[in-house]
Amino acid sequence: MLARIQSSAVIGIEAFAVAVEVDARPGMFRVRMVGLPDAAVKESEERVHSAIRNSGFRFPSGNTIVNLAPADMRKQGGALDLPIALGVLAASNQLNGSRITEYLVAGELALDGSVRSITGALPMTLAAREMGLRGIVLPRENAEEAGVVKGVDVIPVHDLHNAQGFFQGACDIEPYRTDISRVAEEARTTIPDLRDVKGQAHVKRALTVAAAGAHNILMIGPPGTGKTMLASRLPGILPELTFEEALETTRVYSVAPNAGIRKSLILHRPFRSPHHTSTTVSITGGGANLPVPGEVSLAHNGVLFLDELPEFNRPALEVLRQPLEEGMVHIRRANYSITFPSRFMLVVAMNPCPCGCRTHPQKKCRCSPGDIHRYMARVSGPLLDRIDIHVDVPALRFDELHSADNGGPSSEDVRAQVQEARNRQRARVKGKHSWNAYLDTALMRKHCVLDSEAREMLEVAVVDMGFSARAHDKVLRVARTLADLTGSEHIQAHHVGEAIQYRSLDKEYFVA
């Protein structure tokens, strides 16, 4: 008898439909699986056989053929175990009912028949909705994640017997719906306050500007001056994720096998801080067989923080250039081509020299000019050109360290300023990515108009400081953000002047 179960597989962050066709016929006992299954899918034969027998069902004694359509797409992972097992039961007359055609099925089986969690539950649920199915049957552990999708019945099951009973009509399972307000309350975390950082008022100002326009920022200064503390407080001044951004970010984490526990919707902007020994593949994503998102994608709609920037290997830094420009990363291998979203704020920190004391007022630098040159040369000019704001983080004085009043606004106050600035940008530019850092040439020409005084100031800076065309555009974008922070519709000369100051450190530190 021939049976057909609708399932799905994931490639990148997109899910595609997979029809699991099982044909059981009399003959010598043999199980064949076709349709480009990978090693994990081929191994499902043993898992399915044991799960069926240990759940009290009968495995067909004849010739069983399992076809995974479409035949030209490689299927990976263990999510096809449950639909294959249900297909075997249906093909051997142990499962009947009209429900079997109305739901998408996904789940990995243990040998005792219990259902284990899978990756990619959210993309699969979205695929079920796009296919016009009534719902999706999946493991209980993935119900919280899938339950955020509206218009689809999410049916959580805990074992094969439970799933068979639901499709047979022997038991009814209440569709699971995720309570977003409850999830938001449970996910609420305490982010360190910006006010906790002593001094560094001008750096806090630069972080505010960066957050308001989604600009990339470089902090450079001696060790122990607060660079990492400041970066860790950036998520506290960024606006909360919109539902669309949260859904997009959760899709990335849903298909990442080692990105942490996937319980539900991600409601806070990601903050990723990979170690400087990270490989190029771990930064960009990919893999030999199973394509997984890298750090640039896990930081999507959030912050990617690279501490000790020159310590990263050069190829890992150079691959950042495409995601910074396009907001996505394209990965091509011999057997697949994947595009992951990767629109993030890049925050980088570094010392001014190998020993870190080059700009320290009391400590003496032990580095030779050659050491300094080689150290700074690890950061390429093209990458540096893509960082909008450069800010010096000096050593603090004793009175600043022991000051009772830090003299700065709290993260909550700064977030309010940032939100107002972003509201102005959203009202000005209608679109998904309306922040000033992403303005293209046409929008800049329309919204970054300068008066004669501001134009003359920018012209002098470009000539004297040798700005590239990209640096020129970034100064305009930062100036637009500064105007938004002050509520000004027009860019004024003092906005341009402050934006130019944020581009001056590369001439001081990176040019001999």
Domain CATH code at residue 306:
3.40.50.300
Do 162 and 259 belong to one domain? no
220 by DSSP, 3-state: which? strand
Number of domains in the chain: 2
For 438-449, what is the mean pLDDT? 90
What's the distance, Cα to Cα, between the start and end of the chain in Å? Answer: 78
pLDDT of residue 257: 77
pLDDT band, very low/low/confident/very high, at 186 (cuts 50, 70, 90): low
Final residue belonging to a domain, choices 122, 153, 168: 168
Q: Is the pLDDT confidence value at 410 over 60?
A: yes
pLDDT band, very low/low/confident/very high, at 512 (cuts 50, 70, 90): very low
Q: What is the DSSP letter of 313?
A: -
Q: Is the pLDDT confidence value at 418 over 70?
A: yes
Contact 239, 422 (CB under 8 A): yes
Lowest mean pLDDT among 175-189, 369-383, 472-486: 175-189
The mean of the pLDDT values for the chain is 89
Examine residue 310 and state whether it is found in any structural domain, yes or no.
yes
User: What string of DSSP letters covers 59-122?
Assistant: --SSEEEEEEESTTS-B-SSTTHHHHHHHHHHHTTS---GGGGTEEE--EEPTTSBEE--S-HH
pLDDT band, very low/low/confident/very high, at 397 (cuts 50, 70, 90): confident
Do 423 and 337 belong to one domain? yes
pLDDT of residue 416: 95
Do 273 and 403 belong to one domain? yes
Final residue belonging to a domain, choices 168, 183, 210: 168
Contact 67, 126 (CB under 8 A): no
Do 326 and 440 belong to one domain? yes
Q: Is the pLDDT confidence value at 88 over 70?
A: yes
Examine residue 368 and state whether it is found in any structural domain, yes or no.
yes
Domain span holding position 109: 2-168
Examine residue 265 and state whether it is found in any structural domain, yes or no.
yes
Contact 35, 75 (CB under 8 A): yes
Examine residue 189 and state whether it is found in any structural domain, yes or no.
no
pTM of the model: 0.89
* CA–CA dist 60, 91 (Å, integer): 9
Do 36 and 158 belong to one domain? yes
At 152, which CATH number? 3.30.230.10
Examine residue 203 and state whether it is found in any structural domain, yes or no.
yes
Report the range out of 81-85, 194-198, 401-405 with the highest average pLDDT: 81-85
CA 313, 315, 318, 324 dihedral sign is negative
pLDDT of residue 510: 61
- CB neighbour burial string for 60-82, b if at least 16 within 10 angstroms, e if fewer: beeebbbbbbeeebbbbbbbbbb
pLDDT of residue 482: 96
Joined tokens for residue 506: 């590369």
Run of H or E including 186: helix 180-187
Examine residue 185 and state whether it is found in any structural domain, yes or no.
no
Q: Is the pLDDT confidence value at 460 over 60?
A: yes
Do 354 and 458 belong to one domain? yes
pLDDT of residue 371: 92
Examine residue 55 and state whether it is found in any structural domain, yes or no.
yes
pLDDT band, very low/low/confident/very high, at 67 (cuts 50, 70, 90): very high
Contact 336, 73 (CB under 8 A): no
- Kindly compute the dihedral angle of the four CA atoms of residues 495, 497, 498, 504, in this order, to the nearest 10 degrees: 150
* CA–CA dist 123, 339 (Å, integer): 15
Q: Is the pLDDT confidence value at 52 over 90?
A: yes
pLDDT of residue 263: 60
Burial class (CB in 10 A: 0-12, 13-18, 19+), 51: buried
348 backbone dihedrals φ, ψ, rounded to 5°:
-125, 150
Contact 183, 143 (CB under 8 A): no
260-301 per-position pLDDT tens digit: 555 678 888 999 999 999 999 999 988 767 788 999 999 999
Do 146 and 232 belong to one domain? no
Do 379 and 291 belong to one domain? yes
Report strand pairing: 135-139 vs 153-157: parallel
Axis-axis angle for helices 81-91, 160-168 (nearest 10):
50
pLDDT of residue 300: 95
Do 445 and 495 belong to one domain? yes
Contact 138, 126 (CB under 8 A): no
pLDDT band, very low/low/confident/very high, at 63 (cuts 50, 70, 90): very high
Do 234 and 91 belong to one domain? no
Q: Is the pLDDT confidence value at 184 over 90?
A: no
pLDDT of residue 118: 93
pLDDT band, very low/low/confident/very high, at 463 (cuts 50, 70, 90): confident
Q: Is the pLDDT confidence value at 483 over 50?
A: yes
pLDDT of residue 188: 63
pLDDT of residue 264: 74
Do 157 and 208 belong to one domain? no
For 354-379, what is the mean pLDDT? 90
Run of H or E including 8: strand 2-11
Contact 198, 226 (CB under 8 A): yes
Examine residue 84 and state whether it is found in any structural domain, yes or no.
yes
118 backbone dihedrals φ, ψ, rounded to 5°:
-130, 165
Joined tokens for residue 92: 């051997």
Do 265 and 150 belong to one domain? no
- Kindly compute the dihedral angle of the four CA atoms of residues 460, 465, 471, 476, in this order, to the nearest 10 degrees: -30
